Structure 1
Amino acid sequence: MGITRGVIVTMLFGLVLFVLIPIYVPRPNFIPGFAPPPDMWPRAVSILGMLLGLLLLGLSLSKKTEAIADPEAASEIRGDTPLGKLMARFGLAVLAFTLFVVAVELLGFLLACILLLAAVLVLTGYWHHKWISLSVAVGLPLLLHLFFSSALNTRFPAGTLLKALGF
């Protein structure tokens, strides 16, 4: 199973890298010369995805990984949490990411990221330490937003609702 997943992940990111991202993306005039080109991040993510797929493929061929991938070991990793509860959490996570796409349009990227990270922390069960989780859910997107907006001069969507309110 791991071999198949490794091949599929590698092929998917290879398709994105070599087919979907054009070979030459012109640099717009308003981007300064020291800034990275527009296709840098999609290429970086695609290369990283291919490397992770190849790593999964290599680890799947290992005998140690074969022993770990025992179905009985999966129940030990899962603990006492029933499979139905895990599937419900997965469905809620998919719903959270879907709502994130809608929230970016309405609330802007920063607030949508804060809400998504808070939802992910709740769904994974790390909400027991509420103040730490809340500070991570607010602080991490703020730090990333400040880094990308000030250091890399990257602008994120502000959101139509916030623009209408004057923010």
Structure 2
Amino acid sequence: MLVVAFFALCAFYLIPVYVPRPAFIPGFAPPPDMWPRTVSLIGILLGLLVLILAFRGGAPAEEAIKTDKSSTKRMVLRFAGMVIAFGVFLAALPFVGFLIAVILLTLTMVLMTGERNYRAWIALLSVGAPILLLLFFNFALGTQFPKGALLKTLGF
């Protein structure tokens, strides 16, 4: 319910108030509020889908999932690690740039899931996906991401 409320607040209040819409937009150019509005509407739809699936329920589990203290502690530590990783991402973004920060964040998130068996897939996902994302937004949509002080110093 909170996810739906958050994205609804963004779509119907924050975007119209804080994203200026120029009086004239050429016919071939999308308005500046198109992507934020698209993401917000998708967020609302996915939140409603989760709500429907949660209320619809399902067959009761045959056997209850047993958790012990060590698995609960491990999950809490992983959650704390993810919060710290997002904090480091936000702090490192101005210095190392979007690409390096997202590569490190993606690698950290995949490793926090506990998966270690598919090393080639982990490397491909954590390095390849951010590069493809950056190339798509840069060349197809003309959107620039922060380069960071380190990359500017190195001449990129």
User: Per the alignment, do residues 161 and 133 of structure 1 end up closer, same or farther by CA in structure 2, a change over 3 Å counting?
Assistant: same
Give TM-score scaled by structure 2 length.
Answer: 0.84
Cα gap change, 1:88 to 1:150, in 2 (>3 Å): same
CA contact (8 A) 1:114 1:138 kept: yes
Amino acid at match of 2:64: E
- 1:128 match: 117
Q: Is the 8 A contact 2:21 2:33 kept in 1?
A: no
Structure 1 position 71, deviation (Å): 10
Distance 2:27 2:90 in 1: 31
**Which ranges of structure 2 fall in alignment gaps of 5 or more residues?**
none
Is residue 72 from structure 1 mapped to residue 61 from structure 2 by the alignment?
A: no
Q: Tell me the TM-score normalized by structure 1.
A: 0.79
1:9 maps to what in 2?
A: 3
Letter in 2 for 1:147: F
What are the Cα deviations for residues 24-80 of structure 1, in whole angstroms up to 9, with x where unaligned? Answer: 732499x97534322112111111111122112222221427x35x9934x4xx799
Q: 1:125 to 1:62 in 2, by over 3 A?
A: same
CA RMSD of aligned residues (A): 2.9
Distance 1:50-1:87 versus aligned 2 partners, 3 A rule: same
Could you tell me how far 1:111 is from its partner in structure 2?
Answer: 0.8
Runs of 5+ unmatched residues, structure 1: 1-6
1:41 maps onto 2:35 in alignment: yes
Q: CA deviation at 1:131?
A: 2.5
User: Identity percentage over the alignment?
Assistant: 43
Q: Matched residues in 2 for 1:10 and 1:16: separation?
A: 10
The alpha-carbon distance between structure 1 residues 33 and 101, as it changes in their structure 2 partners (threshold 3 A), is farther
- Matched pairs, number: 155
The answer to whether residue 114 in structure 2 is matched with residue 114 in structure 1 is no
